[in-house]
Amino acid sequence: MTALESSTPETEVGALIDALRHLPQGPDELAALLPENLPMYEKRSAAEMGRLRGYLLAAFADTGLPDAALPYVIESLETGHIAYEVAGAAIGLRGLETPSVGVAASLLRAIDNLSGADATVSFESYKPAWPYAQPTTALTEVVRTIGHFGVRAEAALTELELLARQRERFPSPLLEEMRRVLDEAGAGHGEPACDAACECESCGCVPAVELGSDDSCCADLALPEQVQDHASMRAMLEDQDGRPESFEEFFRGKPSVVAFFYTRCDNPYKCSLTITKLAALQGSLEERGLAGALKVTAITYDPDFDLPNRLRLYGNDRGMQFGEDARFFRVTSGFQEIRRRFGLGVNYGPSTVNRHQTEVYVLDERGDTSASFTRLQWEVEAVLRAVENLFVDVELRRL
Amino acid sequence: MSEGAAENLGETTRREVSEARAARSRYLSDLAATAAASRAARPSRRGLRPDADEEPAMTVLTDRSLPEESRVGVLQRLASSISRRAEYIEAILAIVKDRSDSAAVREAALQVLGSAAFQVVRFRPHQQEYDDALHDLVADPEPALRETAVSILAQQHDPVVQETLLEGLRGDGPLPVERERAIQLLAEDDHLDNLPWLQEMYRSGSESAREEAVRFMGSYPAAQTTLEGILRDKRESKGVRQQSGASLRYLAPDRFEVIAKEISTDTTDDPEVRTACLSALQHLGDTDRVYADADFVNRVQDVSSDESAPQVAQVARDLLEQRPNP
């Protein structure tokens, strides 16, 4: 593959993506471009990252979608707030041979997220000029993908029936596309869909899985490369009240849940939602009498800008109850160390974060990662289960 | 309220309601007459329902042969209610997109759509077509329409218009708006690489442009040194220096505190800037730490009796009086 660097013009990256569409090694080489923390993405703006991501994902429609790329496609469907990226993910998903139950849910979530925020986009070339020769929209592509899977995405078709009646919510051309898809699926619509309980050997399909759940096949694929050894961690932190803290000391002695975020994140389905869920997790831990047994924390990706008062306000506004074991941090020294330690899925433009995944980690009392919830949307209940499992492990170790 | 006053108020209200009703009635009557004349003159205009049930407002709005003021008048009247009427939104979108229509009418139509778009839920089915129309306007020959469209899209962080502005600034394409305005609009999105453009705007812009540039720099940690330099620069205007102080305080409150202490007690500096620095130290940020700095408090005491700068002296006295444990 051509060596790509942060200085490689985005149009050249676009040309490479086009070249890979038709090569046998295309799927794997395209998948290798997906992690946002690759050096080639440094110093690019968030807008450029969104364009590259959307175009890259859409290419999987031509090459076929490899397993390694599926979590990225699902991530963009579930958390994308820019029409181009979501459209690219919806198109790329058509490279998947057999959809799973989780895929239908992700497509429906994309419709929910982008309702009212859809836009005209085009994949006719990389960065085409307005007006487009082949215009489309994110929701049109999501609906077409539901149509592409047909009865294999039964749950999505059923929901589409309801959505197609919401005239006050969607523009007329999209409603027409929904009707077209439903009409075409009409003949087979109603046949049983493949689900987790399906006997795959008998029906010949791939077993359906709920992406994002604990036991998802893709959750493992999404795990970043992490350095488990934390013995030499010298990173220093500062909390929401300006109090200094050593990373190593703070994350020892008690298990912790640590989320990563930054206050300038403009995607409502990423940092803002992560911190809101973290506050909900805090409430659930309290209800279960586990509040004192665990630290609930978050660390900003943007330590230069996220000063203590910003961390405090951001947490307060989303329901966090700060205390000795519930603190938000910025890293005052050794951020690169922490980036490597967790294998953070983040990269930086000239001014701030240009792209990041969602990431929440459960650490044991030694500061080692016991569970991670990265890229795909995480649920409070799933983290609670991981925490409870960790407590059992800790008890067993004591015995 | 006395009984008499209440009666007067009631009378005034009744009179105003009556006048408003009469004005509305006159307007509707004029509108109906204009629409009837329009229909009589051109009964089979394309794109319109030919039936006689068509609303007069729609007839007048879409009749390009009528005077601009009649059509603009209808648009202004419709402004508050069009989000409930899909057919009017479509008609107004068609006017905005029609480059051969009157610029004044198109501008008024764009303004009405902009207001309607604030009714987010009702406007939702039309949002995408509206955005498409705005994208078309970015290359419109009418500068006012271009400016409005580019502003709306840039404030939404629209990637297409951001790219157009960037290409224009780099000299790779036409700029749809003035260069300074383009930089300001890009600066609405702090995830872009705006600092070099803001620094250019600061170097070459008017005083108000420099003030704007410094305001936006407050989002960029890399601008800290620049902001410190501007705040200290005695040749710079008061307004720009005060804005740089506000931006620096937002970005790095500790550094602002250090520099504000220097400036506020520097008798050779501008009294207004000194006053602003003292006020910020007294009312904003970590005031306990400010009062705990004995050296600074001593210098403020000197300032408080400085008759050559009475305004600064007054603020200095206020600061000392507010000290928790003098």
Q: Where are the domains of chain B?
A: 58-137, 252-326
Contact across the interface for A116 and B160, Cβ inside 8 Å:
no
CA distance A317 to A261: 14
Task: Please list, in sequence order, all residues whose beta carbon lies within 8 angstroms of the beta carbon of residue B225, skipping any fewer than 6 positions away.
Answer: none
Q: List the CATH code of the domain at A223-398.
A: 3.40.30.10
Q: How far is CA A186 from the centre of its chain?
A: 33
For A129, nearest residue in chain B (alpha carbons): B160
Contact across the interface for B191 and A45, Cβ inside 8 Å:
yes
Over the stretch B178-201, which tens digit does the pLDDT of each residue have? 999 999 999 999 999 999 999 999
For B193, nearest residue in chain A (alpha carbons): A350
Of the partner residues B129, B132, B194, the one whose CB lies closest to the CB of residue A351: B194
Tell me if A323 sits within 8 A of A314, measured CB to CB: no
Q: Where are the alpha helices (DSSP H) in chain B?
A: 3-41, 56-62, 68-78, 86-97, 103-117, 120-137, 143-155, 159-170, 179-186, 195-204, 207-217, 224-232, 238-251, 253-264, 271-283, 287-292, 294-304, 310-321
Q: Does A304 touch chain B (CB under 8 A)?
A: yes
Which residue out of A11, A118, A351 would a mutagenesis test of the B interface target, given it has the greatest number of B Cβ atoms within 10 Å? A351
Distances (CA, A) of B192 to A45, A81, A237, A303, A324: 5, 17, 27, 18, 37
Cα four-point dihedral sign B247, B253, B255, B259: positive
Parse chain A into domains and list their residue ranges: 10-216, 223-398
Q: What is the pLDDT of residue B102?
A: 96
Task: Kindly state the tokens that stand for B126.
Answer: 């039309």
Give residues 334 to 373 of A whose Cβ lies within 8 Å of B. Answer: 349-354
Give residues 47 to 76 of A whose Cβ lies within 8 Å of B. Answer: 47, 50-51
Over the stretch A240-265, which tens digit does the pLDDT of each residue have? 999 999 999 999 999 999 999 999 99
pLDDT along chain B (326 residues), means of 10: 88 90 85 83 57 77 92 88 87 96 96 93 93 97 97 96 97 96 96 95 94 96 97 97 97 95 95 95 88 92 91 93 78
CA distance A32 to A69: 8
Q: Does A167 touch chain B (CB under 8 A)?
A: yes
Cα four-point dihedral sign B230, B231, B236, B241: positive
CA distance A319 to A326: 12
* Cβ neighbours of B252 in A, within 8 Å: 307
Q: What is the arithmetic mean of pLDDT over A37-61?
A: 96
Q: What is the pLDDT of residue B322?
A: 87
Q: Say which residue, A2 or A163, is predicted with more confidence.
A: A163
The pLDDT confidence band at residue A68, using thresholds 50, 70 and 90, is very high
* Cβ neighbours of A168 in B, within 8 Å: 121-122, 124-125
How far is the alpha carbon of B6 from chain A, nearest alpha carbon, in Å? 45
Q: What is the pLDDT of residue B188?
A: 94
Provide φ and ψ at A38, rounded to 5°: -65, 145
Q: Does A267 touch chain B (CB under 8 A)?
A: no
Task: Please list, in sequence order, all residues whose beta carbon lies within 8 angstroms of the beta carbon of residue A273, skipping any fewer than 6 positions away.
Answer: A377
- What dihedral do alpha carbons A148, A150, A152, A157 form, nearest 10°? 120
Q: What is the pLDDT of residue B44?
A: 56
Which residue out of B97, B118, B124, B131 would a mutagenesis test of the A interface target, given it has the greatest number of A Cβ atoms within 10 Å? B124
* Cβ neighbours of A119 in B, within 8 Å: 128, 131, 158
Contact across the interface for A119 and B128, Cβ inside 8 Å:
yes
Between chain A and chain B, how many beta carbons pairs sit less than 8 Å apart?
88
Q: What is the arithmetic mean of pLDDT over A275-285?
A: 97
CA distance B75 to B85: 13
Q: Which range is least confidently modeled, A51-55, A194-198, B45-49?
A: A194-198
Contact across the interface for A168 and B128, Cβ inside 8 Å:
no
For A266, nearest residue in chain B (alpha carbons): B191
Contact across the interface for B222 and A351, Cβ inside 8 Å:
yes
Contact across the interface for A354 and B253, Cβ inside 8 Å:
no
CA distance B294 to B276: 21
CA distance A313 to A134: 45
* Cβ neighbours of A264 in B, within 8 Å: 190-191, 219
Closest Cα partner for A281 from A384, A390, A391?
A384
Q: Does A266 touch chain B (CB under 8 A)?
A: yes
Of the partner residues B125, B128, B192, the one whose CB lies closest to the CB of residue A47: B192
Of the partner residues B132, B159, B195, the one whose CB lies closest to the CB of residue A351: B195
How far is the alpha carbon of A179 from chain B, nearest alpha carbon, in Å? 16
Q: Does B86 touch chain A (CB under 8 A)?
A: no
What value, to the nearest 5°, has the Cα angle with vertex B10 and ends B8 and B14? 115
- What is A288-340 written as a DSSP string? TT-GGGSEEEEEES-TTT--HHHHHHHHHHTT---BTTEEEEEEEE-HHHHHH
Q: What ipTM score was computed for the predicted complex, to two decimals?
A: 0.84
Decide if pLDDT at A98 tops 70: yes
How far is the alpha carbon of A352 from chain B, nearest alpha carbon, in Å? 6
Q: What is the arithmetic mean of pLDDT over A284-310?
A: 95
Over the stretch A198-238, which tens digit does the pLDDT of each residue have? 433 333 333 333 333 333 333 333 334 454 555 457 899 99
Helix (H) or strand (E) holding A49: helix A46-63
Q: What is the pLDDT of residue B178?
A: 96
